[in-house]
Homo-oligomer: A and B are copies of this chain.
Amino acid sequence: MKKFMNTAETMVAESVEGFVSAHADFVVFGANRKCVRRRHLVPGKVAIISGGGAGHEPMHIGFVGRGMLDAACVGHIFTSPTPGQIVSAIEEADTGAGCLLVVKNYDGDVMNFEMAAEMVAGRHQVEMILACDDIETGRAGDGRGRRGVAGTLITERLLGAAAEQRVPLAELKALGDGLSSRIRSMGVALSGVALPQTQRTTFTLGPNEIEMGVGIHGEPGHSRELFSDADTIVSHLAEAIFDDIDQSTDKVLLFVNGLGGTPPAELYLAYNSAHRIMMEHGLRIARSLVGTYATSLDMRGLSITLAFLTDAEFSLWDSPVATAALRWGC
């Protein structure tokens, strides 16, 4: 297992420090480095806060900035940030209009974000949204529901854009909840990943195998299949998404996300397959996003996300955003 790192213990801290140095024009560490927050907070705006385990970069720190997140907390690799980190982020980012916590639906994250919300009750007005776009974990039927994966960034973007326009907390909460049935993702891996702490690979694939339905924690998916051409693989992902999503309109945002070790050329090729399949399905691709945004360490793989949005939501998507990972209009 070769990775660019010094020690497994310091890997996350050094990487986040590099991120904050590289983007010092618009992000800073919060007190005691418990969170990464916008350098210039906006008084009177609801603070949008997210976070989760490390290993998914640029998610979420790469989304801190104008028009998206006000603060993000980073835990150890694939491990929730602590309630203390989240409380610190709430205290720093809340400028009086309250906070909306965007939490990927994993037990550890939900528990710690809920605990933090309880700890600040009475002092800060806090609401919470669960991101749950991963169709595979929904199909697992273990009662815990769908987990949050790449599609989480769409929720964060739309909420961040609306907050920038001074939409109040209760309305943001309703906007976020309303998105949950209209954003769905599914992932595929060409390789497992090795955890820096243990040097162990989470699963191993043969030269002709792929893993369908992977999430973003190096975990195996729902089935091991024979490696195939991109059209076949992307079609499999797309069909599974069509079966699970609430198709409220025919206008979609199509998002192809790299899982860490997949080069841009292959992501664009997969986008090309997905674009054709969506058109054949009668959909209009109103917006596109292609890149490495929500990773599973250095996994070779990708995920496809579809989001059926309203015209008002597409306008939010288009409004100015200035973060390390997403940037347009300013």
Interface membership of A190, Cβ < 8 A: yes
Which of A4-12, A27-35, A80-88, A123-131 contacts its partner? A4-12
Kindly supply a per-residue 1/0 record for chain A positions 16-59, scoring 1 wherever the CB is within 8 Å of any chain B CB and 0 otherwise: 11110111000000000000000000000000000000110110
Contact B6 A268 (CB under 8 A): no
Q: Please give, as numbers and ranges, the residues of chain B lying within 8 Å of A12 by CB-CB distance.
A: 265
Q: How far is the CB of A81 from chain B (nearest CB, A)?
A: 16
Partner of A4, one of B7, B62, B302: B302
A129 to B285, CA, bound (A): 39
Contact B328 A269 (CB under 8 A): no
Interface membership of A317, Cβ < 8 A: no
Kindly supply a per-residue 1/0 record for chain A positions 139-163, scoring 1 wherever the CB is within 8 Å of any chain B CB and 0 otherwise: 0000000000000000000000000
Q: How many chain copies does the complex carry?
A: 2
A19 to B266, CA, bound (A): 10
A318 to B18, CA, bound (A): 21
A300 to B191, CA, bound (A): 13
Question: Taking A4-B230, A271-B21 as contacts, is the C-beta distance between A264 and B207 under 8 angstroms?
Answer: no
A207 to B1, CA, bound (A): 7
Partner of A266, one of B4, B23, B191: B4
Q: Please give, as numbers and ranges, the residues of chain B lying within 8 Å of A297 by CB-CB distance.
A: 263, 265
Interface membership of A168, Cβ < 8 A: no
Kindly supply a per-residue 1/0 record for chain A positions 274-313, scoring 1 wherever the CB is within 8 Å of any chain B CB and 0 otherwise: 0100000000010011101001011010100000000000
Name A180-194 residues within 8 Å CB distance of B: 190-191
Contact B16 A268 (CB under 8 A): yes
Q: Please give, as numbers and ranges, the residues of chain B lying within 8 Å of A272 by CB-CB distance.
A: 14-15, 17-18, 21
Q: Please give, as numbers and ranges, the residues of chain B lying within 8 Å of A57 by CB-CB distance.
A: 263-265, 268
Question: Taking A18-B268, A269-B11 as contacts, is the C-beta distance between A263 and B275 under 8 angstroms?
Answer: no
Contact A269 B18 (CB under 8 A): yes
Interface membership of A227, Cβ < 8 A: yes
A16 to B231, CA, bound (A): 16
Question: Taking A263-B292, A263-B298, A298-B261 as contacts, is the C-beta distance between A6 and B270 under 8 angstroms?
Answer: no
Residue contacts A-B, CB under 8 angstroms, 24 given: A2-B210, A2-B227, A3-B190, A4-B233, A4-B267, A5-B230, A5-B269, A6-B229, A6-B230, A6-B231, A7-B229, A11-B265, A15-B272, A18-B270, A18-B272, A18-B290, A19-B290, A21-B271, A22-B275, A22-B288, A22-B290, A263-B295, A292-B292, A330-B330
Nearest 7 CB-CB pairings of A with B: A18-B272, A260-B263, A18-B268, A4-B266, A57-B265, A15-B269, A18-B271
Extra 12 A-B pairs, beta carbons < 8 Å, given A14-B269, A18-B272, A58-B264: A2-B191, A2-B207, A2-B210, A4-B270, A6-B230, A14-B230, A18-B275, A22-B289, A55-B265, A262-B298, A265-B295, A292-B292
